[in-house]
């Protein structure tokens, strides 16, 4: 997947959600692919940005057919690129300009909303960006793409939210209506962002390095070559998130045991970070007194920290070694050993450093 679509990346541990961009003719189009629990592509959902929706207008049925008959996600993305190339080639660049009433109505709407809430407007007044603060002081932007029939037709909206955002619209609606709906959604996500902001501020987040407001996953450092990845439900941020530990088994197993044993201590009235501390019985390292090098050990095979956006997530289980590796690097190393063996998705071999037995379980995300 990384070779064919380097800008489309998995967003969860099961490889069910992919988010990113498809690049055609030096243009990047945002999309999100959501696979069902059985990972069958024919039942997948494709969420497109307004730019991609506009480019594929009239080609939706062809895209659905490609989705039904493609054997895997990589094949579908190649098919989608082909369809998009044809759509862009056949697109009519000469569009009928809006009537004068369009501009009068739009300027009136902006004046009613307040020019101070306008962050950007293009020279054609067809793309505008509105800014809004939530009750915690976080600033958010919403990009609106208006067509010539505004306000009779709703503008396409693009926001950096972890949940879908759809505007309720009538011909009598205005930018103020969008602003009001946006404010209500922001308030419903307040506790989610409060929880993750505290995580970002008070712990050492390894991934993502620069999280967007739509990101629900954080990989948090616990110690040297030990971390926990949490996936927080935006609708229920105070509930126990999905937790996945990364590190040597002799370090990770006690953490799993504590999570299972102390799960009854999880209190939705407390914050997410405090609950994680209580259940795991640990204090998370802070950025204030540690350096990135304390956690960012390079891969023992390629000698790099980041490889195709991945960081070392495999560790030799021998306490005297503990050398980290990228999954892809360790896979290629073990596959080249004459003494290694594979059973289904598990490869058995020897550590490149200490020659002790090492096991690699390949994840579903590898393509």
CA-to-CA separations, 349 to 130, 311, 356, 361, in angstroms, rounded: 56, 21, 8, 12
Contact between residue 231 and residue 217 where contact means Cβ atoms under 8 Å apart: yes
pLDDT by residue (tens digit) across 102-139? 899 999 999 999 999 999 998 888 899 999 999 999 99
User: What pLDDT is attached to residue 168?
Assistant: 93
Query: Residues 52, 106: one domain?
Result: no
Mean pLDDT of 185-209: 93
The pLDDT tens digits for 52-79 are 888 888 888 898 888 888 888 888 888 8
Among all chains, which residue has been given the structure tokens 């071999």? 349
CA distances from 248 to 227, 253, 366 (A): 10, 8, 21
Provide the pLDDT for residue 365: 44
pLDDT of 12 > 50? The answer is yes
pLDDT of 304 reads 76
Residue 78 inside a domain? The answer is yes
Judge whether 2 lies within some domain: no
Confidence (pLDDT) at 94:
43
- Is 19 part of any domain? yes
Q: Are residues 181 and 213 in the same domain?
A: no
Domain boundary, last residue among 72, 90, 108: 90
Q: Which of 353, 324, 319 is nearest to 251 (CA)?
A: 319
Domain span at residue 240 reads: 199-293
Is the pLDDT score of 244 beyond 70?
A: yes
pTM for the full model? 0.63
Q: Cα separation of 335 and 231, whole Å?
A: 32
**pLDDT greater than 80 at residue 249:** no
Total count of domains within the chain: 4
Pairing of strands 118-121, 45-48: unpaired
pLDDT (tens digit, 9 = 90+) per residue, 260-318? 999 999 999 999 999 999 999 999 987 766 555 555 577 888 877 777 767 787 888 88
Query: DSSP for 270-328?
Result: S-HHHHHHHHHT-----TTS--GGGT-PPPTTT--S-BTTB---EE---TTT--EE-HH
Mean pLDDT in the chain? 86
d(CA 69, CA 78): 13
In whole angstroms, give the CA distance from residue 363 to residue 13.
Answer: 8
- The answer to the question of residue 194 being in a domain is no
Prior bond to 104 cis, omega within 30? no
């Amino acid at each position: 997947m990384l070779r064919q679509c380097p800008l489309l990346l998995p967003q969860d541990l099961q490889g069910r959600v992919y988010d990113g961009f498809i690049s055609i003719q030096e243009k990047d189009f945002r999309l999100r692919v959501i696979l069902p629990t059985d990972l069958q592509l024919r039942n997948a959902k494709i969420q497109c940005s307004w730019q991609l929706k506009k480019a594929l207008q009239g080609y939706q049925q062809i895209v659905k057919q490609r989705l039904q008959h493609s054997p895997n996600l990589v094949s579908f993305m190649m098919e989608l690129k082909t369809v998009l190339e044809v759509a862009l080639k056949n697109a009519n660049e000469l569009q009928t300009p809006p009537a004068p009433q369009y501009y009068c109505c739009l300027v009136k709407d902006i004046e009613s909303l307040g020019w101070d809430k306008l962050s950007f407007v293009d020279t054609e007044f067809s793309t505008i960006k509105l800014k809004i603060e939530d009750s915690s002081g976080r600033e958010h932007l919403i990009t609106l793409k208006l067509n010539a029939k505004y306000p009779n037709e709703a503008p396409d909206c693009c926001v950096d939210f972890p949940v879908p955002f759809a505007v309720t619209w009538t011909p009598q609606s205005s930018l103020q209506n969008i602003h009001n709906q946006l404010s209500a959604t922001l308030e419903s996500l307040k506790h989610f962002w409060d929880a993750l902001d505290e995580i970002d501020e008070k712990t050492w987040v390894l991934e993502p390095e620069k999280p967007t407001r739509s990101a629900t996953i954080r990989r948090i450092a616990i110690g040297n070559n030990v971390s926990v990845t949490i996936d927080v439900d935006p609708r229920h941020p105070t509930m126990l998130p999905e937790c996945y530990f990364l590190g040597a088994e002799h370090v990770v197993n006690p953490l799993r045991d504590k999570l299972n044993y102390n799960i009854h201590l999880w209190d939705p009235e407390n914050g997410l970070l405090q609950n994680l501390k209580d259940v795991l019985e640990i204090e998370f390292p802070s950025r204030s007194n540690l350096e990135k090098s304390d956690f960012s050990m390079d891969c023992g095979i390629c000698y790099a920290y980041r490889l195709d956006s991945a960081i070392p997530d495999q560790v030799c289980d021998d306490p005297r070694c503990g050398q980290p590796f990228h999954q892809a690097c360790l896979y290629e190393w073990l596959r080249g050993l004459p003494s290694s063996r594979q059973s289904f998705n598990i490869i058995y071999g020897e550590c490149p450093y200490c020659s002790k037995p090492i096991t690699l379980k390949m994840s579903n995300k590898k393509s």
